[in-house]
Amino acid sequence: MNNTYKNGVFMEDYVEKQTKEVDVWKLKKYACKVKPIDIYTGKNIIVLNQDEAKEHDIYSGYRTTVTIDGRHMIALVDVSRDLVKPGEVGVFLDMMEAFKLRKGQIVSVIHMNRPESITYIKKKLDKGTLNNHEVKMIVDDIMQNRLSEGEIAAWISAAYINGFSDDEVISLAQATVESGDQLNLGKNPILDKHCIGGVAGNRTTMLVVPIIAAAGLYIPKTSSRSITSASGTADTMEVLADVTLGMEELRDIVKKAKGAIVWGGGMKLAPVDDKLIKIRHPLSLDPEGMLLASILGKKKSVGAKYVIIDIPVGRGVKVPYIERGNQLAKHFIKVGSMLGMKVEALITDGSEPVGYGIGPVLECVDVLDVLQGKGPEDLRHKSLLMTGKLLELCGKVRKDAGYDAARKLIDSGKAMAKFRQIIELQGGNPKIKQSDLEIGKYTHIVRSELNGSIFHIDNKVMAKIARIAGAPRDKGAGIKIEKFRGDRIEKGDALFTIYAESEAKLDYALKALKDLEPIELRKMLLGTMR
């Protein structure tokens, strides 16, 4: 076999050898010089010269294997007439860094066969039921970047339209766990909690974790950053401490403090789930089977045996009706049991924000206030309810005694002391006070132009205004709610205050507010605001 490099082509007729990672067609391969492209795409993509690629029967959207020094990288192809010349391969920064490529290096490009998992995706589109091997193959191909976004979207759509059997959910949950690292503390019991989302200001995690840890139980909490909200738990906790930690750091902190609150994306726990969420979110698709596998898979990856699931129900959140909430709760409990976990689901009121603050710093103020025995009563009550149920679920306290046990841990100051320990171990200042937190200095008070009573506060609209004002990137940006559902208001009363870290962003938020309706009065819209 002649491997002479000439005019960008390896002078060999066929690829005779297959790698362990991928199957390749016996087609001509050709060699190119690496040309870096100064863009991050979030995926493995290469760019080939259009005319040269066509000569080798490679077209836009095809899969290729890029090979150098015995290493094999799977990538999708884009083509261009001008961006790369014949004999070059354009490589985006994701691949340049991940595979330590250098400008001018010679790599070979091989046209790949279609992944086996495409057959299984089509089977699901045709209303078939996938077995464990087939689900695992799809997950493996996603993790190896063998599937395009369109192909992953097809699987998500099939799950949304045709649903998953319980066995498929279990297979996906197990494959989700196996797609990344797992936390093994060597301790028992391990507790965890999760909220399916949609409620602004709902920072119960930052209260549940220190209370549970103060009770002497282990709770290694991995949390998400914001996607569409004004702040995720990780964004809010980041105001107080570092949340981007590795697995060993998480293990050390939890062994010392029994609890931690970290960003799940900072470690390789269930990484396939991040890839699926990235596709699901723009499509606004949340198939129930994938939702269950995502949440419970992540809990299993940290070794959790006892889990509380918060299912907010109400207008404007993911679950609008109580009947749907009860159905989902039963499914969580059933699948959790099949995965070896004891799960309890709480149906909670999700019709309006929880707490006063919406945005990282403002939410931190609420959390610190509650731990000091004051602050928003709804946030305190919900956190105590969830913690109490978790204490009962694991057998720490008897049935119906959990709420009082959790309350005593706050009132005694033990929960606050534990929270400060967690903050310190995660690199923050354990002595931090509310007055140390920097709220955006540019503010505007939104006042009522009418008399009446508050009928509804829209979670999504409030979050949107807070985001336009700069949250969560600007930690001090957001909204503080002054009036709540059921409150009687008079013309001129303050409804909420917008905070921003720049005058321009505050101006953007006020302009957006003119076309938004964040608050409704009973039997009428609260129209004009100033």
- CATH code of the domain in which 49 resides: 2.40.40.20
Helix boundaries (H) for 267-347: 271-283, 288-301, 322-338
Domain identity same for 67 and 27: yes
- Give the residue with greater pLDDT, 482 vs 4: 482
* Same domain, yes or no: 448 and 416: no
- Indicate if 166 belongs to the active site: no
Q: Which of 111, 146, 176 is the last residue of a domain?
A: 111
Same-domain check for residues 462 and 369:
no
Do 256 and 339 lie in one domain? The reply is: yes
Report yes or no on 171 lying in a domain.
no
Q: Is the pLDDT of residue 42 over 90?
A: no
386 and 400, same domain (yes or no):
yes
pLDDT of residue 5: 31
Mean pLDDT, all residues of the chain: 90
Q: What is the pLDDT of residues 53-101, one digit of tens each?
A: 888 888 888 888 888 888 888 888 999 999 999 999 999 998 899 889 9
The H or E element containing residue 492 is: none
**CA distances, 79 to each of 19, 31, 39, 145 (Å):** 25, 16, 16, 19
**Could you say which DSSP state residue 399 is in?**
T
Task: Report if residue 262 sits inside a domain.
Answer: yes
For 383, the domain range is: 191-267+291-425
Determine how many CB atoms are found less than 10 A away from the CB of residue 364.
Answer: 25
Residue 333 and residue 356: Cα distance in Å, rounded?
Answer: 32
Is 337 part of a structural domain of the chain?
A: yes
Q: Are residues 47 and 87 in the same domain?
A: yes
Same domain, 295 and 216: yes
Average of per-residue pLDDT across 489-511: 97
Examine the pLDDT at 252 and tell me if it is beyond 70: yes
The CATH number for 467's domain is 3.90.1170.30
Decide if pLDDT at 47 tops 80: yes
pLDDT at residue number 3: 36
Q: Is the pLDDT of residue 23 over 60?
A: no
353 and 227 together in one domain? yes
Residue 28: the pLDDT is 52
- Do 234 and 341 belong to one domain? yes
- Whether residue 129 is found in the same domain as residue 101: no
Residue 112, SS3?
Answer: strand
Query: Is 9 a residue whose pLDDT tops 50?
Result: no
Mean pLDDT throughout 362-381?
96
| 231 and 318 belong to one structural domain | yes
Q: Does residue 435 fall inside a structural domain?
A: no
Same domain, 199 and 61: no
Quote the number of domains for the chain.
4
Domain presence at residue 174: no
Marked catalytic residue, from 94, 242, 286, 349:
286
Tokens linked to 39: 């863009």
